[in-house]
Structure 1
């Protein structure tokens, strides 16, 4: 049975929002503002046309967008964000073919002690994945190493995701031989990470990586779900800070004992049912000891293929 986990308040990601298209603009659908009421109120009253603000830019450019610093930028909620202590944001569009389903926006605090990494990788003309942009908080050395690292298809976490065209979870980043930047990750205190493909119109490859540290975690629990026919999903990998490996299926994800989710049942089921990213705080159905959930779907071939979930 799951025991109690003290939910940390000093997380790397402070706010998560879901924006959905409605009548040619993006509107606020759901979010976890972690008690930042004024920022939530401002978000609920904001609309973004295509190309406007951070969500609108991710929509118009059909790619993940990292914004480090709001002053003088296209970010529309700068003043209320500054009052809330927010200083950087990443927008991740979710496309089904050419159709935008939603934009997930995560915002990070300006505390100089926060360590983590949210990275966007894309291919260059030489067929190597290069860092398009990233936010690292106080992990400056790791940021420098990342800016000067490239990945061929199949190498490291970004290259592995690119080759598999599927989410990949990595443990023990500071000592794992598969994580190319292990030495720098260990010095920064990064412990676990997940990478996922961001599929966009036109086929340009993008890989999003989320790397978590113990002190200011992105997540205390990561899960990767493979979506099957009939509105069901199967857990194919997962790791918990307390329990270690939750499940790992090195086969095809069909083993009878694998944990499963059904549409509309539980937080992962909400992603299956709505077809959209889901952000929840304090909702029923979360594993015991966790206070917040983010579920991000991925589409390919006209159907949802995977769900990446993380919990705090």
Structure 2
């Protein structure tokens, strides 16, 4: 099988960046900008106070924030974003207990081609309701989602709620477990990643990333569970689920040998998250599996302890 990954010119997410607290502000740590040099330069020189701009708002509210248009909003880089063709963004804060570790911001462009979904579901009484979401060109799927709710254990959001763990769901358009399968199939959505996003207020929230084949969020998804540190080297990670366009399933008893299912702190890109407890964005093929050029990983905490890492590759 060829080691060259088939790529498309369009992806659903165009920019991924990490902001970290430093001296009472959020400062730029790293990012992947896909050749949008002027927006990258504007971002690297920026910083945000609590409640300021999109990263600062996610920090202040203690939850993911979806911003579907920049004009007239609190977004601070509107002109640079407009020049780059970026029109929407989602900020995802990472909390260890009450402590903010970082904010991952992902930015998208809105056109007639890009299809996918980034959704935030929030508990209201005994149901998860759609709090907000960005869907690109998937307008019908957006309408269906706005009129859908999930009890614990049902669908992808409800499954994450019940398991208190990330879940990867395949074949969204045909899978019986995906409640919105018919509209997902019409939109071309194929793979869903759901993860809990705990915040200081204790409200149950679930973030879902839904990827389409034509304009993918990613071509490879992974979920790692974290074992507590047994020595000074730090915690270990074990791959518990994964899927790749090229290789198929990546879970245990499938393609990789057993020793490829574990990694330690500081070893490879997943190991960077194990070592730091922070989100990680890596642009460029160095250190990634052959055929990939971008890696994004998000840690998931239970209380103050790192419990899972979700990662996606392009």
- TM-score bracket, normalised by the shorter chain, equals over 0.9
Deviates more, 1:143-152 or 1:105-114: 105-114
Provide the rounded CA distance (Å) in 1 between the counterparts of 2:110 and 2:28: 23
Q: For residues 1-312 of structure 1, what are the structure 2 equivalents within 5 Å? A: 3-125=3-125, 127-230=126-229, 231-248=235-252, 259-312=261-314
* CA distances 1:89-118 after superposition (whole Å, capped 9, x unpaired): 000000000000000000001222100000
Report the Cα offset of residue 229 of structure 1: 2.0
Q: Write out per-residue CA displacement over residues 128-159 of structure 1, whole angstroms, 9 at most, x where no aligned residue.
A: 00000000000000000000000000000000
The C-alpha deviation readout for 1:171-213, integer Å capped at 9, x for no partner, is: 0000000000000000000000100000100210110000000
- TM-score (structure 2 length as normaliser): 0.95
Q: Secondary structure at the match of 1:218?
A: coil
Where structure 2 has 5 or more consecutive residues not aligned to the other structure, the ranges are: 230-234
Shift of 1:17: 0.4
Matched residues in 2 for 1:266 and 1:2: separation? Answer: 23
Task: Say which SS state the counterpart of residue 306 (structure 2) adopts.
Answer: strand
Distance in 1 (CA, whole Å) between partners of 2:307 and 2:226 is 5
Whether the aligned pair in 1 keeps the contact of 2:95 and 2:301 (CA below 8 Å) is: yes
* Residues 270-279 or 189-198, more deviating: 270-279
Change (3 A) 1:248 1:184: farther
Check whether the contact 2:221–2:313 (CA below 8 A) recurs between aligned residues. Answer: yes
Gaps of 5+ in 1: 250-254
Deviations 1:21-47 (A, max 9, x none): 000000000000011010111011111
Residue deviations 1:240-271, cap 9 Å, x none?
1122111158xxxxx96560111111110111
SS of 2:250's equivalent in the other structure is strand
Contact 2:168–2:194 (CA under 8 A) maintained in structure 1: yes
Is this contact kept in 1: 2:192–2:210, CA < 8 A? yes
Query: Following the alignment from structure 2 to structure 1, what is the Cα–Cα distance between the partners of residues 91 and 65?
Result: 5
Provide the rounded CA distance (Å) in 1 between the counterparts of 2:278 and 2:303: 16
TM norm structure 1: 0.96
Q: Is the 8 A contact 1:18 1:279 kept in 2?
A: yes
Greater than 6 Å deviation, 4+ residue runs: none
Secondary structure at the residue paired with 1:10?
A: coil
Task: Tell me, yes or no, if the aligned pair for 1:2 and 1:289 is still in contact at 8 Å.
Answer: no
Counterpart secondary structure, 1:86: coil
Deviation string for 1:79-98 (max 9, x for gaps)?
Answer: 00000000000000000000
